[in-house]
Amino acid sequence: MRELYLAGNIGNLSAEECTKRFNEGKEKLEKLGFIVRSPIRGKVLTSLEMVEKEEYIYEPGEIVIRDLWDIDRAELVVAMPMDGSIGTFMEIFYAAHIKHIPVIVVAESSRIKLHYWIRFLAAKIVPNLDEAINYIQRWYL
């Protein structure tokens, strides 16, 4: 079965907002026939307050190694970065430049949409997840 990695920001969202965002994206993309992996898969999310106090549940290696493993197995990446989304930008670079996996970037912010690195690395930039799904249906499936 085809695999897709759904990248996106975790750090600037509450646990509830993050869970909702990724679960909604996962449901929509699974309807296209993909196994969808995301950075929240199987994790207990820490609250923003815990992160600010540096009370982390996971070690950095537990997060990064699994995210890289998920990207390595994907044939397509859909990235939903937000301003200041360092981890997501690292995942975009890794997938596109190192692994040569197409990356569709959902850029809700004009700062992200117009950034030279994003424009260079993205196979396609779209304004929302529904447009990404339409593009995948037309271009990729």
* Mean per-residue pLDDT of the chain: 89
Q: Which residues constitute the domain of residue 72? A: 3-140
17/135: higher pLDDT: 135
What's the CATH number where 20 sits?
A: 3.40.50.450
Number of domains in the chain: 1
Report for 46-50, 121-125, 136-140: range of highest mean pLDDT = 121-125
Residue with tokens 């997060």: 63
Tell me what pLDDT residue 60 has.
78
